[in-house]
Amino acid sequence: MSNWVSLTEADVLEAMPTDMIAMYETWVTDNPDKEGRLGDLTLESVATCRTAVQSGSPAAMDSDETHVPATGYRHMINTTIFNLGVEMNFQFAQDFYSLVTRADIWLRAVQIGSISIPPADGVMPAPSYEPPEHPGRMLDG
């Protein structure tokens, strides 16, 4: 599996609970100005994730603006579903809130560098530490 994967509106829609999909379709029909809102929220989640990675593991960044780390893919889907649900006043199952909390914790840990993200190209940077040169043995006297 690649270290980075694309996250799209279709991915979020596929993961969305069936009762929420029906509510979303009705919501968009009743509010035509909300057309494309899921896409906007998906892009927002991708951008938030990429900003966190840039902060905590800048060497890991993928050049494709639609990609997120594979380890955060599910977290970003849950975040997007939650944000959309809040806008629609959707009633989530109680268990879903723990998934959103986990996503937030993951995102914050990535941002501060507690969770490091592997580089998109799969090549880990080499350590840059070089031991100091030994001055040699010096005798006084």
pTM exceeds 0.75, yes or no: yes
Q: Does pLDDT of 130 surpass 90?
A: no
Q: Is the pLDDT of residue 1 over 50?
A: no
Residue 87 has pLDDT above 80, yes or no: yes
In the chain, where the domains are located: 4-112
Residues whose CB is less than 8 angstroms from the CB of residue 44 and which lie 6 or more positions away in sequence, other chains included: 80, 83
Cα distances (angstroms) measured from residue 67 to each of 8, 33, 53, 70: 9, 27, 11, 9
